[in-house]
A and B are shown apart, each in its own frame.
Chain A
């Protein structure tokens, strides 16, 4: 009975989170706050992917901004074209060069179906090629982390440097509608929130299923003893590759939803600093736990937008200290506290005395 209860606990948690996001939040929050919460949900999607690769797979991805950008720019390009209407050319391009035709790679993004397909296909292709090359050559640990960060830096530099095609540092903005729904209408913005929150819950369900599958066991085994996994006849590179690709898709979807919510996409939202910001929530919440990354990312997102509005400098200190303190004192994040607490609770529930008597008698 207890084991069945235990195995369904994560599902109950997901249901509780879904209830909080889809029913409670829209009922109590104002339009503005709901829009902010939608933004945190986008970051949380990235965080769920980082939890999968870093927490369970041991691969510290410091460049999720790359995949975030793939989704965000695909969506941004589509919404930009939708806003200027059929045959129109985005304003920033006209400002730059009134006579320039629309670049060829922009053209297909007029189609909404193509855009949605690209949001999923682009990260799969990029992450597969990259991951295949990196993992097959057994590049790992710090090397892997630095390489991914270098890619985020490279892509951010590339976008900043190609003003003509991407809007450069100013980015894409001035969107008016999202797949036919005008963005001015608060009701439509609530709809966008609902979609985002549903996608986040979807990501959580996917990761939950992965964690309880044989793949999840293999992933943890690869993290803890890669050579043993290899000796057992599995190829750790494939295991890592799957986790990396899934995380990339989640980051891309998060990026895509970020654009209608934030109303702007610029390199600042995906560069090395942003990629590190994505990790902050995961580290705080607990990288290996199911709910750690989500709750951590929501908390860090909330912290950023409330604190940084009032004292921008202070927030950076807080974030920096968070990294230092969490990595030194609490590598398992806040979730590790919860697990410890839950262990004691479960012991009390069953009537079995936990190993430390003090906790039982207290």
Chain B
């Protein structure tokens, strides 16, 4: 029983992390068509925000809660700067956004290497998260439950904004028909900027959660970015439910394969499975059907 429960729970927590990281990508890639390879470095920015907050605030119990909104703003601001300086020039050239943001990611990574200790920094888990839950005999770390709840909260907030607020309606209108939205008086430039802010900010939140689980060094972003992209691609663009399912499946299956083989082999197997899955459904799990040829 333990051999099933442990990977299931750990995998779900990993999937939740992937989900927060992928939600931001689903917004920027799925809804705006921009491929932001620096998204992984925004995760890193979030994790480092968690570390810096911890250095500033004496109580580790409090700092993690403070770090979440701060990381959202820090990463979001980075996103807005990136949008205003680089991405705005190439909305009609998606492949080029990919290359340009690869360059930005390299610069950000090196900046982190030059500013922070190269062996990485440690973020202390607050006392109230440093417990285990007894789940059918498996001692489940509470911080994993925390990441799952965090992912749920991010998802709920994002879905509510998209569905119920006027700004959410403007985002959806811009996605569905940019020209028509403009005609109706929606400032699509503004919508682009704010969407980018929110998408990047979510990466910051994910970064704080990752810092509790993994080592925070300059390679953190690179580790997550490809998986996060695969989740978005496998989930299908334009709808959040595909991203949720894909994140969970990738997280749990990686955990199970890690249990049966080793971490690196598991990663390879999951990558290959996603590639095979895309053979069956090239548009991902769910997709908005159009009559377009593309």
Contact between B98 and A139 (Cβ–Cβ < 8 Å)?
no
Residues of A within 8 A of B214 (CB): none
Q: In the complex, which range does the number of interface residues on chain B fall in?
A: 35 or more
Q: A266 CB to closest chain B CB, in angstroms? A: 15
Q: Which of A143, A153, A227, A327 has most B Cβ within 10 Å? A: A327
Within 8 A of A (CB), among B258-281: 262-265, 267-268, 271-272, 274-275, 278-279
Q: B243 CB to closest chain A CB, in angstroms? A: 15
Q: A237 CB to closest chain B CB, in angstroms? A: 12
Residues of A within 8 A of B103 (CB): 319-324, 327
Contact between B268 and A323 (Cβ–Cβ < 8 Å)?
no
Which segment of A29-37, A97-105, A157-165, A247-255 sits at the interface? A157-165
B109 at interface (Cβ–Cβ under 8 A)?
yes
Contact between A227 and B90 (Cβ–Cβ < 8 Å)?
no
Q: In the complex, which range does the number of interface residues on chain A fall in?
A: 35 or more
Residues of B within 8 A of A60 (CB): 95, 98-99
Residues of B within 8 A of A138 (CB): 282
Contact of B106 among A141, A150, A151, A320 (CB under 8 A): A320
Contact between B107 and A272 (Cβ–Cβ < 8 Å)?
no
Residues of B within 8 A of A323 (CB): 99-100, 102-104, 106
Q: How far is the CA of A308 from the CA of B293 in the complex (A)?
A: 46
Given that A316-B106, A320-B106, A323-B106 are contacting pairs, would A143 and B233 also be in contact in the complex, using a CB cutoff of 8 Å?
yes
B29 at interface (Cβ–Cβ under 8 A)?
yes
Q: How far is the CA of A324 from the CA of B230 in the complex (A)?
A: 24
Contact between A320 and B226 (Cβ–Cβ < 8 Å)?
no
Contact between A142 and B109 (Cβ–Cβ < 8 Å)?
no
Residues of A within 8 A of B264 (CB): 157-158, 160-162
Extra contacts, 19 of them, besides A142-B35, A327-B90 (Cβ < 8 A), are: A60-B98, A133-B275, A137-B278, A142-B29, A142-B98, A143-B233, A146-B226, A150-B229, A150-B271, A150-B274, A150-B275, A157-B267, A323-B102, A324-B86, A324-B100, A324-B104, A327-B96, A327-B103, A328-B89
Give me 27 A-to-B residue pairs in the complex whose CB atoms sit less than 8 angstroms apart, sorted by A's number: A133-B275, A137-B282, A141-B94, A143-B282, A146-B229, A153-B226, A153-B267, A154-B271, A155-B268, A161-B265, A227-B293, A273-B222, A279-B99, A316-B106, A316-B110, A319-B103, A320-B104, A320-B105, A320-B107, A320-B110, A322-B103, A323-B100, A323-B106, A324-B100, A324-B103, A327-B99, A327-B100
